[in-house]
Chain A
Amino acid sequence: MDLTALSAAAEPAADQTKPPSRVAHVSTCALWGLETALISVEADVANGLPHFSIVGLPDTAVSEARERVRAAIRNSGFEFPLRRIVVNLAPAERRKEGTGFDLAIALAILRASDQLRTDVDGLCLGELSLDGTLRPIRGVMPRILRARECGIERAYLPSENASEAAALGSDAVGLRTLRAAVDHLDGRVRQPSAPMPPPAPEPTWEMDLADISGQDTPKRALEIAAAGGHNLLFIGPPGTGKTMLARALPSILPPLEPDEVLLTSAIHSVAGLTDPAHPLLTARPFRAPHHTASRLALVGGGVPPRPGEVSLAHSGALFLDEMAEFPANVLETLREPLEEGAITISRAGATATYPARFTLIAAQNPCPCGRLGDPEATCSCLPDAISRYRSRISDPLLDRIDMRVAVPRVPYRELRERAPRETSSVVRARVRAARERMRHRLAGTTRRCNAEMTKREVDRCCELDAGGERMLAAVVSSRRISARGYHRLLRVARTVADLEGIERIAVEHLALALLLRGDT
């Protein structure tokens, strides 16, 4: 690899005999949300009064690159040309954001002023500090993916970001300083390409289902939620294990599919949450924002728009503990992502669409004092107070929650029971098998689990046996079930059957779905 790089570097050096073109080109990549575009940084160093300007719709952070680049070039032992310098970020019609262009601008100027004797053959990313050190940036993964789509295999970037690029299979050269970048490009001191980071080890879970005694139905519901991606609400008095159950969810979620890994990791890269040792996620994300979270924190926002918790939970689970304590306006923002699986953030001058297909796991008390339905305590809430408390979660939101499950207080003798309980790994195997059936059934579509099935797929894939048909007919005729509720019911029943490995939905599957739905 190094040998070919050396010979490639030797050729442009020979070109120096040609009448030098004073315009240098360096490739870099711009990022808006998850959207990327390849940018060519062009630098022209001409005779004239000393002047340095950046054109091509730079935002403030990019314009400030002037000062950083000027200082970094001087402090790296190069000369900042005292001539008329114009840097253009092409294509020029879209606004460029962030600090990731510094390295490309500096190299373009050095190339145009002949202090760098070689053309830059890869994607350059990185922020410069005044002393010429390279600083890491956010959102490397989506930019590297774009570069590879455009056929640029090599990347020069801060050493902290190198593993992210190497994990995507790019020939990533991690650099500490601007000086090191020039030395490497001119072939004086070669830096090795970053090795492919080792795959993340099998994660250890803080909570196992076997740690929780009793609660058969809530555990069943959790398994169904993990397998089919259905939304779930736990309701119970304080201290009965709602949070413990929800925290056990990651231990039974199936691992990310290979085609989900890139997108999910890219979102985390944009948010600056990538772990340098293991840049690619293997476990599904589990996000648990506190109930003081603002709307922007939950759905994303800011300028430039950053992904919120709903997007960070993409292809994983979003856990809202004490759901009734979240402000109503924050909860209502969940409706669109729950239905569409994506969220579009529009601000003046910036729009970003982030994927947000997550499983919602929520927990709440049954009433303000939390003791309603607890046989060992007396609830002191008035009926009006209870209905006010319940109505904090609006009907449209409740309608999107497929399962509402009571988490009752577990009697002492069950707590002390030492009988072996089912471990998460056993449940996880069932969940994986069920997912496999779903994938097989939904092959050829972008959907992966039952909760994502379209209405037409529900009609096609949810075949009931005779008893099931009778029960469904009775449900439709007796309970004023909404059209949305009807399809959601069938999706859950489909998952229950999938977990048992049965193709035709039987009475007991539909019965469990109906019971777990738990609405009035």
Chain B
Amino acid sequence: MISRRPCDPGYPRRLRDMRKPPDPLWISGDLPDDRLPTVGIVGTRRLTSYGARVARELATALAAAGAVVVSGLAQGIDSTAHSAALDAAGLTVAVLGEGLAAFDELGPVLRRRLAARIARSGAVVSEYGLDVRPADWTYPRRNATIAGLSDVLVVVEAPETSGALITADRMRDLGRPVFLVPGPLGAPTWIGSNRYIAEGKGTLLVGAEPVAAVLGLRIGPAGRDPEAADDASQLLAFLAARATDADAIAAGLGIPPAEATTLIAEQLIAGTIVATGDGRFARR
């Protein structure tokens, strides 16, 4: 664990654009090279399975293309983005709203494990003293730091009063681009992001490519097999919006249950869909 002041070499240069850069910044692990493009992926803690899928797909595609994924290591979208980036063998940086030592001691065990994985290749950083405990007032500044570290920001899923929208505001202050994933009208976890788009403050996101283009990257060929059987792609399309159970899949695709069973089993083996642990199936 080391600390860096804005005048030190090794301090992330992007943070110097901020009106009041974190001073000092505590770092666990190695910050990725400043020349690598960075993308912030943030969103609600209370995520839907659709939000989780989009966050995972975006983080996977951008991390594989060479971008550093920056997020806040909260439960929900943040953790999903971090772990997807790690699974794609990419680099990722987590910004905490509490002291590094306090998190190591008191943080939830699952995310402590995730933090350890992040620090092995990337870094976990915080602008708070080592033993500062998290509180409501520590998060807005953390959100600003995420904005400070990101070239581009993607807000995946944000309810009306979301910290992710604070990050988006700070991005606009810095004059950096903000993309937002649109969601279903009336869904409480999307009200904030939909309104942000409607007010013209951010760009509506339609895929990973525009984000990559801003960063000067190219998305590799899609992982999906274009030769995939018709039924399989129908199944994936049916599961695009949300996870559901076997009976609903058979009814939705209009095929006999036995056929649906074989189809689901084949896709489970192929790894394109996963069981959610409560008897339903979701796209990976």
Complex interface: chain A residues within 8 A of B76 (CB): 382-383
**Given A217-B246, A383-B76, A408-B245: A515 and B277 interface contact (C-beta under 8 Å):** no
Complex interface: chain A residues within 8 A of B262 (CB): 507-508, 511
Decide if A515 touches B268 in the complex (CB within 8 Å): yes
For chain A, residues 394 to 437, give those with C-beta under 8 angstroms from any C-beta of chain B: 404-408
Decide if B266 touches A511 in the complex (CB within 8 Å): yes
Decide if B261 touches A214 in the complex (CB within 8 Å): no
In the bound complex, what is the Cα–Cα distance between A380 and B44 (angstroms)?
A: 12
Q: Quick check: is A471 within 8 A (CB to CB) of the other chain?
A: yes
Q: Quick check: is B213 within 8 A (CB to CB) of the other chain?
A: no
Complex interface: chain B residues within 8 A of A372 (CB): 278
In the bound complex, what is the Cα–Cα distance between A512 and B244 (angstroms)?
A: 16
For chain A, residues 191 to 221, give those with C-beta under 8 angstroms from any C-beta of chain B: 214-217
Decide if B248 touches A515 in the complex (CB within 8 Å): no
9-residue interface stretch from A166-174, A177-185, A291-299, A473-481: A473-481
Q: Quick check: is A482 within 8 A (CB to CB) of the other chain?
A: no
Decide if B247 touches A235 in the complex (CB within 8 Å): no
Decide if A235 touches B264 in the complex (CB within 8 Å): no
Decide if A520 touches B46 in the complex (CB within 8 Å): no
In the bound complex, what is the Cα–Cα distance between A383 and B47 (angstroms)?
A: 7
Complex interface: chain B residues within 8 A of A217 (CB): 245-247, 257
Contact with B along A212-247 (1 / 0, CB 8 A): 001111000000000000000011100000000000
Complex interface: chain B residues within 8 A of A373 (CB): 243-245, 276, 278, 280
Cβ-neighbour of B269 out of A383, A387, A479, A517 (below 8 A): A479
Q: Taking CB as reference atom, which chain B residue is nearest A219?
A: B247
In the bound complex, what is the Cα–Cα distance between A478 and B266 (angstroms)?
A: 11
Main DSSP-derived SS at the A contact region: mixed
B: number of interface residues (CB 8 Å): 35
Complex interface: chain A residues within 8 A of B258 (CB): 508, 512
In the bound complex, what is the Cα–Cα distance between A92 and B70 (angstroms)?
A: 78
Contact with B along A448-490 (1 / 0, CB 8 A): 0000000000000000000000010011001100000000000
Decide if B275 touches A520 in the complex (CB within 8 Å): yes
Complex interface: chain A residues within 8 A of B246 (CB): 217, 406, 515
- For the complex formed, measure the closest distance between the CB of B280 and the CB atoms of chain A, giving whole angstroms: 5
For chain A, residues 249 to 274, give those with C-beta under 8 angstroms from any C-beta of chain B: none
In the bound complex, what is the Cα–Cα distance between A234 and B257 (angstroms)?
A: 19
Decide if B265 touches A519 in the complex (CB within 8 Å): no
Chain A's interface size range is: 35 or more
Q: Taking CB as reference atom, which chain B residue is nearest A519?
A: B275
- For the complex formed, measure the closest distance between the CB of A497 and the CB atoms of chain B, giving whole angstroms: 13
Decide if B278 touches A406 in the complex (CB within 8 Å): yes
In the bound complex, what is the Cα–Cα distance between A407 and B246 (angstroms)?
A: 10
In the bound complex, what is the Cα–Cα distance between A9 and B260 (angstroms)?
A: 75
In the bound complex, what is the Cα–Cα distance between A514 and B275 (angstroms)?
A: 10
Cβ-neighbour of A406 out of B47, B271, B280 (below 8 A): B280
Complex interface: chain B residues within 8 A of A474 (CB): 269
Contact with B along A368-399 (1 / 0, CB 8 A): 00001101001011111001001000000000
- For the complex formed, measure the closest distance between the CB of A265 and the CB atoms of chain B, giving whole angstroms: 36
Q: Quick check: is A518 within 8 A (CB to CB) of the other chain?
A: yes
For chain B, residues 238 to 284, give those with C-beta under 8 angstroms from any C-beta of chain A: 242-248, 257-258, 261-262, 264-266, 268-271, 274-280
- For the complex formed, measure the closest distance between the CB of A186 and the CB atoms of chain B, giving whole angstroms: 69
Q: Quick check: is A126 within 8 A (CB to CB) of the other chain?
A: no
Q: Quick check: is B170 within 8 A (CB to CB) of the other chain?
A: no
- For the complex formed, measure the closest distance between the CB of A408 and the CB atoms of chain B, giving whole angstroms: 5
Complex interface: chain B residues within 8 A of A39 (CB): none
In the bound complex, what is the Cα–Cα distance between A511 and B261 (angstroms)?
A: 6
For chain B, residues 4 to 57, give those with C-beta under 8 angstroms from any C-beta of chain A: 45-47
Q: Quick check: is B188 within 8 A (CB to CB) of the other chain?
A: yes
Complex interface: chain B residues within 8 A of A406 (CB): 245-246, 278-280
Known: A383-B46, A471-B269, A514-B268. 9 other contacts (CB 8 A): A372-B278, A373-B276, A390-B278, A404-B278, A406-B245, A406-B246, A510-B265, A515-B246, A517-B275
A–B pairs, 10, beta carbons within 8 Å: A373-B244, A373-B278, A378-B188, A380-B46, A387-B110, A390-B277, A405-B279, A408-B244, A408-B245, A408-B248
